Amino acid sequence: MRVPPCLLNFDDEADAALRLADVAGLSPAAIDRHRFPDGELKLRLPPALPERVVLLRTLAQPNEKLVELLLAARTARALGARHLTLVAPYLAYMRQDIAFLPGEAVSQRIVGHFLASLFDAVITVDPHLHRIATLEEAVPVRQAIVLSGAPLLVDWIAQRRPHPFLIGPDRESAHWVAQAAARHGLDHAVCQKVRHGDKAVEIVLPSVNVQGRAVVLLDDVASSGRTVARAAQLLRAAGAASVDVAVTHALFAGDALQVIQDAGVAEIWSTDCIAHPSNAVSMAPAIAQALHSLSDGPA
């Protein structure tokens, strides 16, 4: 009889782990973490593990977490795990997929291969993949599953705004926004974006009439907040009755949230891929379904 997988998690993601464990039928197990005065980490996992182990770690603020994954995954193997799945609802270091200037590190390839050296499977949500078609190209594991927060966000939006107009921040989001809009037959369009720096963006609205419409800016991630803030300002100036923001990944670095609110955005909704007060919908059921599809496969 196969022992059910356990779900390893860190204390700062205990709530998310309990939600996922509940719907996926997993046994949650905390990883004890100690920090030495010089900043080094010491981890302690449960002393015995089943053959199949799931490790939950969303990779917002990722640098130290990558070291945690190295220590935890190698230790899990030593304690009996034969099949390791990383559930990283937010997968960091995916945006740098080519060297834009000579000498630049292609972090997507480097971090992706690092994760593939530790795990047999990876499950993530709306990864930042622009110039590649599949997650396996970035993270070459045997099993890679990409989920999307867009359908759940659009369901949430449709319940709260009558006939909303969905707008994506740039051309790269066009297909993603179109699929989300089709779920409820909603009007949609995308902006044009030119980025001049981390906090300097130029936005051109699509040639559509938003006068008197409830507009929702839909994106996979909000980091500095400048893109959605500028788009919101332009939409309000164009006569939109309201502007809301819905994002899969609520990074909201620094003063991003204040910048967005100051731009006239009414509501901000996000998935729980990254814990944030704006979390409106849970990805746990979708992740649980993905985990069950993995459990039907080879160990």
Catalytically annotated residue among 42, 65, 193, 199: 193
For residue 130, how many other CB atoms are within 10 A of its CB? Answer: 11
Instruction: Return the CA Rg of the chain.
Output: 20
Active site residue 65: no
Chain-centre distance for alpha carbon 216: 19
E strand spans, 36-142 = 41-44, 52-56, 83-88, 121-125
What are the angstrom distances between the C-alpha of 176 and each of 184, 229, 247? 14, 20, 12
**Could you give the 3-state DSSP secondary structure of residue 299?**
coil
Whats the size of the chain, residue-wise? 299
Coarse DSSP helix, strand, coil percentages of the chain, rounded to the nearest 5 percent: 35, 25, 40
Which residue is listed with tokens 């292609």?
106
Q: Which residues partner with 269 through β-bridges?
A: 246
Query: Among positive and negative, which fits the CA dihedral 93, 178, 225, 216?
Result: negative
8 A C-beta contact, residue 203 and residue 193: yes
Residue type, 102: P
The residues annotated as belonging to the active site are 193
